[in-house]
Structure 1
Amino acid sequence: MSQLTGMTVFIFVLAALLLLMACAKADRVRSWRASLNPSAPDLPDAAFTAARVVLVVVAVVAVVIGIQGIAVQDDTGWSEDELTSAVEGATRALDGSSVHGGPLDGDTPADFDGEYATTVEQEVVEHGGGDAPQLGVHATLTGSTTSDEAHYRITADGTGASFCMHVERTLTGWADTVAPGLSGDAAAVKLPEFTFAVSSRTGDC
């Protein structure tokens, strides 16, 4: 249970206790006070009425705060359906995508442990839909990893669901480009082009 969920539950329990206190009979309260302190002055009915009004008002305020807490939690936490749809959309978007590496032979365009993990998280968030949170997605590198292959365990705040995304990077060609500040043959540069094959499935890697 998250801290926000625990606080929301506490607020609703507090509201229920306040309403129970407001419903307590005056005679029972007087009897309880007398058993604790027989010399205490008797409370007028007006005091009980005022106390009931205060307790009810505080209970209503607590309920409103609790409802707002539920709304905040829904805005910041992912559901299993939202994460499932987002991972599927991110997989489709990343599969077949390509990037250019550096000008050196075999120079890869992004490391799997850093830049590409961030790319995966961003794609999942972008495919979460209008009601899904805009943060809280985690792509953790796991399992066997090589220079051209990696696995990510994808999770999100608010749900216990997890997904395994497999990424395979392949050098598919070379792209001609022009180096800035140079001209003629010296400006011609070939950059390696890498294509990604991406798939995903439910569960850990």
Structure 2
Amino acid sequence: MNQQPSTNNYQLKVCGLTKMDQIQEFISLNTNFLGFIFYEKSPRFVLNHLSLEEISEINHQGKVGVFVNETIEKIAEISEKAKLNFIQLHGDEDENFIKDLRKNVKKEVKLIKVFRVGTQNLKLETWNLEQIDYFLFDTDSKAFGGTGQTFDWQTLNEIEIPIPYFLSGGISLENIHQLSTINHQPIALDINSKFEIEPGIKNLEKIKIFKSLLK
């Protein structure tokens, strides 16, 4: 086992959830954020497995809906019906889109804007931070995440990050020790494909080990 990172008790987001029994297990483990992917091209598209009503009935304050280049109307509708707490924008949404979205969802719903490291402009200081609650940094891919690939985390040491952020993209038991090399630490780690048996089916024991290392 690699050495344990020095950490400020990272919060944990498990993304790509599709099974209700596993969701309840993660709730019992006090997982901070539960990620549901509303992107039809994803192998973890949640509506192939759970209804909006079922998601709405999940008793948790960290339900995150992940959207990729979706319409404002559809995001607002799903957010309302599924009773989401967070909206994660994983596509090419710009500031005007986010401003309009903010007007169409409940003010208590938090917005997470994803930057795919590799192609997207990382001049974060140019963004209107009144509209965004968190950033999330992920590895760039045509699949918009879930690839298990890691970007060079040293990139984050070269930019100013003005608000709290999530770190995603290939985080695993094998590279967790490298988190200590990031100067401005994330508030939360977003795990997905590296902790799966198959898309949407999580390896609970592996996640329990990972979670124990974050304490």
Q: Is the structural similarity TM-score above 0.5?
A: no
Between the two structures, name the one with larger relative contact order (CA 8 Å, sep ≥ 6): 2
Classify the TM-score, shorter chain: under 0.3
Which of the pair is proportionally richer in helix?
1
TM-score by length of 1: 0.20
Pair member with larger Rg: 1
